[in-house]
Amino acid sequence: MRGAVIDTFCPEIRSYLIASMGSLPDEMLRIFFLDASGRLIADEMLQQGSLRQLALYPRTIFRRALEHNAAGLILVHNHPSGDPAPSADDVETTRRLDQIGRSLDVAIIDHIIVTSSHTHHIVRDERHSGPTAASAAFTLRAPAPPASDLAVALGNARTALHRRLLREQLLGSPELFGDPAWEMLIDLFIHECEGKELSISSLSITPSMPLSSALRLAQKLCDAGLVRRVPDPFDGRRSIIRLEAATSHRLRAYFAEGSD
């Protein structure tokens, strides 16, 4: 399987897991380490437990993922009891590992429970984590503005960003006239209106400041609840930055009144 794209619902993968783990007397943790294209980097038995429990150590799991430069993980563990149903601990552990993985840009693609005759997919079947977890909360939204209002707001936002860049080119001294956090929000608003995504590294190019400082500023915007960081569904090594719904609504109202 090395170098092949891994589909956890593939019958061959299911047979392989049942044959290799389904009848083990103790619980074991196996991990498939995947690259950004979903291809297998390594298949390793990482931790061993007892008949009824298995202690997982996130530090060990993600340290190994970083050593492999993995973009995604498929967790697999067996239930010697023969019952493939996940326990509450199985679900909660998966959720917590998914949260840790997001902060490291390592996606939990699936978590599979194996018995001597069955497999059960915690992430894909029950949607407790994985790519959809970021949108699990409900969001209250105001009605979308008319298309004409949105076009006006987008045009004014483009003008505002252009004027700021022009000001810097003409006057220089960004430390005196710069407003990097505002420029980031304008750039995100423009991309949202155009239906485009913006990675955190691309966003950090917008303000006139060192990359490390721009990355810290982007994190401050996340901490302030103005934007959120989500995994790139096509490249597990990248993060996408999006405006929070309330921020987007207020920026539309602001730029509908004119450019600054």
Cβ atoms of 34 and 43 within 8 Å: the answer is: no
Phi-psi region of 207 (alpha: psi -120 to 50; beta: other; left: phi over 0): beta
Share of the chain above pLDDT 90, in %: 21
User: Rounded to whole angstroms, how far apart are CA atoms 109 and 131?
Assistant: 8
User: What is the structure's pLDDT at 4?
Assistant: 80
pLDDT at 82 over 70: yes
User: What is the structure's pLDDT at 235?
Assistant: 66
Cβ atoms of 38 and 6 within 8 Å: the answer is: yes
User: What is the structure's pLDDT at 162?
Assistant: 78
Task: Kindly state the average pLDDT of the residues 105-132.
Answer: 75
Task: Kindly state the average pLDDT of the residues 58-82.
Answer: 91
- Whether the CA torsion 118, 123, 125, 131 is positive or negative: it is negative
pLDDT at 134 over 80: no
Task: Kindly state the average pLDDT of the residues 45-71.
Answer: 79
User: What is the structure's pLDDT at 33?
Assistant: 94
Cβ atoms of 199 and 232 within 8 Å: the answer is: yes
User: Rounded to whole angstroms, how far apart are CA atoms 201 and 138?
Assistant: 28
Q: Which of 63, 52, 62 is nearest to 27 (CA)?
A: 52
pLDDT at 117 over 70: yes
Q: When comparing pLDDT for 137 and 173, which is higher?
A: 173
Cβ atoms of 212 and 219 within 8 Å: the answer is: no
Task: Please list the alpha-helical segments (H only) found in 104-244.
Answer: 122-126, 147-171, 174-177, 180-193, 200-203, 211-223
User: What is the structure's pLDDT at 111?
Assistant: 92
Q: How many CB atoms lie within 10 A of CB 97?
A: 20
Reduced to 3 states, what is the DSSP secondary structure of residue 236? strand
pLDDT at 243 over 70: yes
Task: Kindly state the average pLDDT of the residues 53-80.
Answer: 87
Mode of pairing for the β-strands spanning 72-78 and 28-34: antiparallel
Where is 97: in which H helix or E strand?
helix 88-103
Cβ atoms of 2 and 44 within 8 Å: the answer is: no
pLDDT band at 51 (very low <50, low <70, confident <90, very high): very low
Task: Kindly state the average pLDDT of the residues 114-129.
Answer: 72
User: Rounded to whole angstroms, how far apart are CA atoms 154 and 160?
Assistant: 10
pLDDT band at 143 (very low <50, low <70, confident <90, very high): very low
Q: Six-digit token pair at 132?
A: 């959809």
Residue with tokens 């996130």: 58
Quick: pLDDT tens for 190-215: 888 888 888 877 776 655 667 778 78
User: What is the structure's pLDDT at 123?
Assistant: 73
